[in-house]
Chains A and B, each alone.
Chain A
């Protein structure tokens, strides 16, 4: 799922990540289309194949987030959507006649795009991440990083990391879910040095030093998307796809989903929701003490 105000390059970045046109770009919108009044949720599914490995990728975009004058509670439709997916999975799971492979529409990862102001996080960013880091894996990403010089970038990242820490926002990879020491050291390094990744996305190719690279051509130079000196796109791509993809799914399944499930069961008096149990829902019977024989 990609989140953030419109115009931060979300669609372009997702396209670049998966090297195919998986996201409908906003610039190809009809001129008459206005900024949507409420936050919409648009999910598009694709099947990507590379080296014989197939992956069904679903990209969920959220146009309209944070664009209004009054953005209070604009994260609610998104929280609702995520919980709905958990609910769907839960219902399938408690069914008597369970499918072998439950269709998994749960959100495994949420890329949150931070605007590169160079100052600090915006109140809207904090509010969103506070609410949603509890239900989904959030990976904060600094969008359009070609607007900051190297010093500005590192200062900004430091400040963002500090603010996230001060506000108790646990972004992925969360500290508490590190399984062993190896994981911990690896993730610590990523958490404290690289994240949030400052990225630049592009779907156009240019010729640089005899190679064709993805980049952006400006009057003062060509920004190469995959050049680590220019931006951290390659780090993000490796992180999300090449090393932590499976982990993202596992954390979603083992932790976020289980939290949701436990909450639902508690609300329902210890019984799973729906007509899963014997076709009827039995009311919970309070334990009565045996009458003492007189």
Chain B
């Protein structure tokens, strides 16, 4: 599917190949080589979902990737929720479509925002994101860098309740704690309880509040000026619909003679993939078909680099602090002597000891005389 693909694949046709040998350097085949390599290597993506329980997170993940990750999940009752803290649960699944493999990791955050006192309920989540960065940093600075596993969180879908009048204090707290560490894509959950005018008002309200609180959500990159009008139009629509109002469904229903994913109500059928009903298609396209790579790039180039710079700064400032107190400590540890030198040292020690003994004996003899 090349609709919406930022990069338009120009597959080398046989005529091209002939021309290559005659006139061109052959650069036109490079993108294909990259494409082939990445398909062979397989892609990976880590997606985090966060929001209060009951907002349809699992259903949406199921609808997005058409896989059921939560088959044996047990829903907790309210009392069990009382003492619950935010947990971090990882599910990994391998998806394949037409030869392209994706290793998808979903990081779920059950318990977030469910307690009576939710102060700092996002702390386990920020700790987790930092841990992944730290792990990657260590791996990157290590000796063997062949098989580094990238567990960094590439994108976080944050579910905003449609039952409020905008962002709640928990929402603001969470986003402010994480906006500099991970790409946040805010979503309006369970949008089928809102009529179109309410959705518009809510989106406006949320956009205003995001500006007001200085939250940096994931920004869709500008499209190049040489893209065609269609693409530019799509891009504009995408930006105007944020935050996406989504509906998820695990069930297939009959609507107008067709089987569609949807929800059956006494008053009508909500179709998940109908753009007039909700923004699910926009979200799916954005996440998987157009912006997945950009999300990864921003994570690596911006969020991770910020973390790394911060880390290194801390380390050097700590060292300069230490060095102010004592003589400068070399950053690298002293090289440990290898086995050969150690043996030599031991031999020399032995010799010294023997000589000392002899000296002692001679002294004694002289004294006795």
B196 touches A146 (CB 8 A): no
Q: Which of chain A's residues 117-172 have a Cβ closer than 8 Å to chain B? A: 117-127, 143-144, 146-147, 149-150, 159, 163, 166-167
A219 touches B277 (CB 8 A): yes
User: What residues on A are CB-neighbors of B116 within 8 Å?
Assistant: 70-72, 123-124, 127
Asked if B54 CB lies within 8 Å of chain A CBs, one says yes
B55 touches A117 (CB 8 A): yes
- The CA of A29 and the CA of B164, in the complex, are separated in Å by 13
B267 touches A27 (CB 8 A): no
A222 touches B190 (CB 8 A): no
A219 touches B276 (CB 8 A): yes
User: What residues on B are CB-neighbors of A9 within 8 Å?
Assistant: 163
Asked if A265 CB lies within 8 Å of chain B CBs, one says no
- The CA of A5 and the CA of B166, in the complex, are separated in Å by 12
Say which size band chain A's interface belongs to: 35 or more
User: What residues on A are CB-neighbors of B143 within 8 Å?
Assistant: none
Q: Which of chain B's residues 237-287 have a Cβ closer than 8 Å to chain A? A: 263-271, 276-277
A122 touches B81 (CB 8 A): yes
- The CA of A230 and the CA of B267, in the complex, are separated in Å by 7
**How many chain-B residues does the 8 Å CB contact rule pick out?**
45
- B353 to chain A minimum Cβ distance, whole angstroms, is 71
Closest residue of chain B to A117, judged by CB? B54
27 A-B pairs with CB atoms under 8 Å apart are A5-B163, A7-B161, A7-B163, A8-B163, A9-B163, A69-B121, A70-B117, A71-B118, A115-B54, A120-B78, A122-B78, A122-B81, A123-B79, A126-B79, A143-B163, A144-B193, A146-B265, A150-B266, A216-B195, A219-B277, A220-B265, A220-B267, A220-B269, A220-B271, A221-B268, A224-B267, A230-B266
- The CA of A68 and the CA of B115, in the complex, are separated in Å by 11
- B141 to chain A minimum Cβ distance, whole angstroms, is 37
A35 touches B81 (CB 8 A): no
B163 touches A35 (CB 8 A): no
Q: Kindly list 7 other residue pairs between chains A and B, CB separation below 8 angstroms, not including A146-B192, A221-B265.
A: A26-B165, A29-B165, A116-B193, A126-B82, A149-B263, A166-B77, A229-B266
- The CA of A66 and the CA of B193, in the complex, are separated in Å by 21
Asked if A6 CB lies within 8 Å of chain B CBs, one says yes
Asked if A92 CB lies within 8 Å of chain B CBs, one says no
- The CA of A74 and the CA of B328, in the complex, are separated in Å by 56
**Given A6-B165, A27-B165, A143-B163, are A118 and B54 neighbors across the interface (CB < 8 Å)?**
yes
B270 touches A220 (CB 8 A): yes
- The CA of A68 and the CA of B164, in the complex, are separated in Å by 12
Asked if B147 CB lies within 8 Å of chain A CBs, one says no
Asked if B34 CB lies within 8 Å of chain A CBs, one says no
A6 touches B164 (CB 8 A): yes
User: What residues on A are CB-neighbors of B118 within 8 Å?
Assistant: 69-71
- The CA of A146 and the CA of B198, in the complex, are separated in Å by 14
Asked if B354 CB lies within 8 Å of chain A CBs, one says no
B267 touches A222 (CB 8 A): yes
Asked if A42 CB lies within 8 Å of chain B CBs, one says no
- B339 to chain A minimum Cβ distance, whole angstroms, is 60
Majority secondary structure of chain B interface residues (helix, strand, loop or mixed): loop
- B119 to chain A minimum Cβ distance, whole angstroms, is 5
Closest residue of chain A to B118, judged by CB? A69
Asked if B170 CB lies within 8 Å of chain A CBs, one says yes
Closest residue of chain A to B122, judged by CB? A69
B168 touches A123 (CB 8 A): no
Cβ proximity bits B269-310 to A, threshold 8 Å, 1 near / 0 not? 111000011000000000000000000000000000000000
**Given A6-B165, A35-B168, are A218 and B268 neighbors across the interface (CB < 8 Å)?**
yes
- B337 to chain A minimum Cβ distance, whole angstroms, is 57
Q: Which of A31, A144, A221 contacts B163 (CB 8 A)?
A: A144
- A98 to chain B minimum Cβ distance, whole angstroms, is 42
A122 touches B114 (CB 8 A): yes
Q: Which of chain A's residues 210-259 have a Cβ closer than 8 Å to chain B? A: 216-224, 227, 229-230
Q: Which of A26, A68, A217 contacts B195 (CB 8 A)?
A: A217
B78 touches A121 (CB 8 A): yes
Asked if B89 CB lies within 8 Å of chain A CBs, one says no
User: What residues on B are CB-neighbors of A116 within 8 Å?
Assistant: 54, 163, 193
User: What residues on A are CB-neighbors of B114 within 8 Å?
Assistant: 122-123
User: What residues on A are CB-neighbors of B173 within 8 Å?
Assistant: 69
Q: Which of chain A's residues 50-82 have a Cβ closer than 8 Å to chain B? A: 67-72
- The CA of A260 and the CA of B271, in the complex, are separated in Å by 53
- A90 to chain B minimum Cβ distance, whole angstroms, is 32
User: What residues on B are CB-neighbors of A71 within 8 Å?
Assistant: 116-118
User: What residues on A are CB-neighbors of B53 within 8 Å?
Assistant: 117, 119
User: What residues on A are CB-neighbors of B270 within 8 Å?
Assistant: 218, 220
**Given A6-B164, A70-B119, are A35 and B267 neighbors across the interface (CB < 8 Å)?**
no
- Of B168, B264, B276, most A-chain CB atoms within 10 Å: B168
User: What residues on A are CB-neighbors of B265 within 8 Å?
Assistant: 146, 149-150, 220-221, 223
Asked if B330 CB lies within 8 Å of chain A CBs, one says no
**Given A7-B161, A146-B265, A216-B195, are A163 and B117 neighbors across the interface (CB < 8 Å)?**
no
- B73 to chain A minimum Cβ distance, whole angstroms, is 11
- The CA of A9 and the CA of B165, in the complex, are separated in Å by 10
Q: Which of B81, B192, B196, B269 contacts A147 (CB 8 A)?
A: B192
User: What residues on B are CB-neighbors of A29 within 8 Å?
Assistant: 165
Closest residue of chain B to A115, judged by CB? B163
Cβ proximity bits B72-101 to A, threshold 8 Å, 1 near / 0 not? 000111110110000000000000000000
Q: Which of B75, B81, B162, B267 contacts A123 (CB 8 A)?
A: B81
- Of B165, B193, B270, most A-chain CB atoms within 10 Å: B193
Asked if B169 CB lies within 8 Å of chain A CBs, one says yes
